[in-house]
Structure formats: C-alpha cells, structure tokens
Amino acid sequence: MFDTLSERLSGALANLRGKGRLSDADIDTTAREIRIALLEADVALPVVRGFISRVKERAKGAEVSGALNPAQQVVKIVNDELVSILGGETRRLRLAKEPPSVIMLAGLQGSGKTTLAGKLAHWLKNQGHTPLLVACDLQRPNAVNQLQIVGERAGATTFAPEPGNGVGDPVDVARRGIAHAREKHYDIVIVDTAGRLGVDEELMKQAADIRDAVSPDETLFVVDAMIGQDAVATAEAFRDGVGFSGVVLTKLDGDARGGAALSVREVTGEPILFASNGEKLADFDVFHPDRMASRILGMGDLLTLIEQAEQAFDQERTAQAAAKMSTGELTLEDFLEQMLAVRKMGPIGNILGMLPGAGQMKDALAQVDDKQLDRLQAIIRGMTPAERADPKIINGSRRLRIANGSGVTVSEVNDVVNRFFEARKVMKQMAGQFGFGSRSATKK
Ligand code: GDP
C-alpha cells in the first residue's frame, strides 16, 4: 500500500538533500511535487490544498535549527502534517463503563464489515474480552452464515435469528442480541449491519433504526480503501445518514494509492481506529497515525514490527536460542522454532516491508517467497528429533525419505543440511573470536 505515493514523496524530498539553504523557489518546487504525488494517490482535493498550504507556510517560516538541516526540516514538517491529517494521536476504542459495550459496524456492501466483525472479535478476545457477534445483516442471503463462520474462526459466539423465521427484522434481532449479551455476560457486542452496493435512503434508515435501538458506544464506518475518491462521498453520506464515531479502513493491502486513508479523517473529522490489510483474522491492527505517516515517507514502521515480534516470540525461548547460537550449539529444532515464530508475524514480504528503506527495495521484496520457507519447514519437520539435534546422522537413505516425505528433491535436503553445518561453523568461530558463550568455546 501507498507504494507510489511513498516513492513520489521520497523522491520530492530527496531533491532537497544536500542543500545548505532552501530558497522559496526550492520550497515551491517541492510543494508542487508533493501536491502531484497526493493527487495521484487519490487524496481529495480540499485535503491536498490544505496540506500543501500548511507545508509551504511552515517550510518558509522555519527557523534554521541546529539539529536539522533544511531538507530534514522539510521532511519533518511533511511528516508532522501527514500525522495530523491522519488524525494525530492514536484513538483507542471507547468502551462503556457498564458492560456490555456495543460496537456497531456500518458501511457499503463488500466494504469488509463481516470480515471485520471476526477480526475485531479475535482482537478483543486476545485482550481478555468476551465478545458476542450479532447478525443484523438480514438482506444478503448468506450474510448470517458468513458471520457465523468468521465468528467460529475467531472463537466467538454469534447471535443470529433462528433459521426459517423469514427475512426477520434487523432492529428486533439487534435488541434481542443485546439482551442476550446482558443475560449471558458477554462484555462487548459487535453488531454487523446490512450494506447496499450504493448509498440509499432505506439502507441509512435501517442503520439509523438499529443505532437507536442499541445506542452504540462506538459506531464504526467501514470503508474499502480501494474505492478511492468515492470513499469521501460515501463517508459523508454515512456521517449525515447514520453518524459514526470512528472509521475502519479495509483492504489497505490491495490499494497502491491509499488516498482514502488520507482523506476520510480530514473530511469527516472522525478518527481512524483500525486498519485491515488482508482477508485473514490477524490482518488487522490499531491505526497509529504517526506510524502510518513514517511508513508513507519510507521511514519504515519499526514500532509495529517490534510489537508484532513481542507477541510472536516467547522471550525465554528466544534468549535460550540466542545463547545456543553464541556457542554454536544451535540445533535445527531451535532454528525451526524461531522460524515458526517469525512466520507467525505474517508473510515475510510484509515483515520486511516495515523496515526503513523498504520502499526502495520493492522489487527485491516481491521476490521474497514464502514458499521457499514452507519447503525449508517441511524438510526440517521430516527429520526425527535426533536428526534435528545432530544432522550428521542423516544418511543417504534417510535423506531420500525426508525428500519424498516433504515433496522436495534430495539435493534440496542436502542443501539445508550443508548450510546448517556452515552456519554452525561460523557461529562457533565467532564465539571463539569474540570470547562470548561457554568456556569451551572461548578456549579454542
Ligand atoms: P461486507 O459486505 O461489508 O460484510 O464485506 P465482507 O466482509 O463480506 O468482505 C467483502 C470481501 O472483501 C470478502 O471477500 C473479504 O474476504 C474481503 N476483505 C475484507 N477485508 C479485506 C482486507 O482487509 N483485505 C482484502 N484483501 N480483502 C478483504
């Protein structure tokens, strides 16, 4: 996401590098390039205008600072302004003092509401909540069923009208859903509502009726980032028709331009709470304006990466593996465990994409292939625990068995084993050289 925008902005700002002083003409040129980059990314025109005029004004008035050179100062201004149009501070979900809290989802059909309901339930469960999903999309034939499926995947219960009860009344279902939550002590209710392909009055009225019936603590407007400029008009229609307290951007994985993300908050005045970037339950996160801005400017998103790593890795096991690595005692078992932890964080390309400078490595990142890791994993899994501890014992016939079992060639198995020996040798040498690790390693 934001690839083109990121490239263009970095390009515009790179032109300033190395300049001792910036003339007004320099700033005007850069501002023009930023303007084009934003418009190409589908950012709404009024948002672009405001952004550019603030950047220009601040850049021209900037005092020469000791810490930053002029180019860095402009980068900082652009970054600050990006953070500001994305909403400034991270806005957390507001829950009711007395459970159950009610979160209502509204948006067009296909925007990703049902998928989001599952993701939210999963996320809330991970934080110790007990969410209940309520199926109020009774328009789309399969919607209730779809919600039940994502609910199950998330390990959450879904409250739905009994089958065979005709079309049913979504307002009634919503009310009964809340009563059910109260009775069974669910602490958060997520209400999925119906969407249409386009904005229409009946849809708005139904959503507004449900809102009145359940008095949500949060009404989240769910918007598909891929719809580009239309996102702004749709957001305004929902703001006027139903009203909402926050925005969720979906399908950020598919959108190279990302203008919706940059416009919706500024145009509606409501904050972006979450962002979705894939179809799986875990492809979802709290939206942090500052992190998103630095990602757009190609400065990476190390904070998110670190947080994901903290969740994926068991600290103690990682420390043990590191200790073994420093003495060259790492086994393939340890290696497999660490690799699985890394992979829990998502596709390798996404992980690397969060590193600073990733924008410039786009082509290389596209080459990173999770399938190679799948093969590596399959090979190691095909070994017995004893073989993982000491691959030296894997003879020719075992290599063939492992290759057959994991669907690779014998030479791929040989390759893994040989590279493992090489890596272990290097680790041992380093341990010897730098004097860390066990005593036996330092003596050598
Ligand atoms: P609803 O009609 O608003 O309930 O939308 P759905 O939840 O049914 O989503 C519509 C389609 O978009 C489904 O095929 C989802 O799998 C897909 N989808 C939802 N969120 C995302 C996302 O963040 N990224 C991608 N790539 N697809 C998504």
ipTM confidence score = 0.98
At 437 the pLDDT is 39
At 135 the pLDDT is 95
Q: Is 437 annotated as a binding residue?
A: no
Identify which of 279, 285, 287 to mutate to test ligand 1's pocket (most ligand atoms within 8 A of the CB).
Answer: 279
Taking CA atoms only, the protein residue closest to ligand 1 atom 19 is: 112
CA 284 to ligand 1: nearest atom: 23
**Whole-Å CA distances, 5 to 9, 202, 257, 274:** 6, 37, 6, 21
Q: Is 177 annotated as a binding residue?
A: no
At 281 the pLDDT is 93
> Can you give the pTM of this predicted structure?
0.72
Phi, psi (degrees; rounded to nearest 5) at 362: -50, -45
Give the domain 3-85 fold.
Answer: Four Helix Bundle (Hemerythrin (Met), subunit A) (1.20.120)
At 115 the pLDDT is 96
Instruction: Spell out the domain ranges in the chain.
Output: 3-85, 101-299, 312-443
Q: Do residues 137 and 195 make contact, with C-beta atoms less than 8 angstroms apart?
A: yes
- Kindly compute the dihedral angle of the four CA atoms of residues 198, 200, 205, 211, in this order, to the nearest 10 degrees: 20
Q: How far does the centroid of ligand 1 lie from the alpha carbon of residue 114, in Å?
A: 7
CB atoms within 10 A of CB 173: 23
Specify the CATH architecture of the domain 101-299.
3-Layer(aba) Sandwich (3.40)
Tokens read off for 2: 């934001």
Q: How far does the centroid of ligand 1 lie from the alpha carbon of residue 99, in Å?
A: 29
Taking CA atoms only, the protein residue closest to ligand 1 atom 28 is: 279
Q: Is 252 annotated as a binding residue?
A: yes
Q: Is 53 annotated as a binding residue?
A: no
Parts of the chain with a pLDDT under 70: 1, 63-68, 163-167, 255-256, 299-310, 313, 315, 325-326, 352-368, 430-444
At 87 the pLDDT is 94
Residue type, 260: A
Q: How does DSSP assign 83-102, residue by residue? A: HHHTTSSPPPPP--SSSPEE
At 304 the pLDDT is 64
At 361 the pLDDT is 59
Specify the CATH architecture of the domain 312-443.
Orthogonal Bundle (1.10)
Q: How far does the centroid of ligand 1 lie from the alpha carbon of residue 115, in Å?
A: 6
pLDDT in tens, 56-115: 999 888 766 555 677 778 888 898 899 999 999 999 999 999 999 999 999 999 999 999
Ligand 1 environment, Cβ below 6 A = 107, 109-115, 195, 250-251, 253-254, 276-279, 283
Tokens read off for 414: 């040989």
Q: How many CA atoms lie within 13 A of 176 on its CB side?
A: 13
Q: Is 341 annotated as a binding residue?
A: no
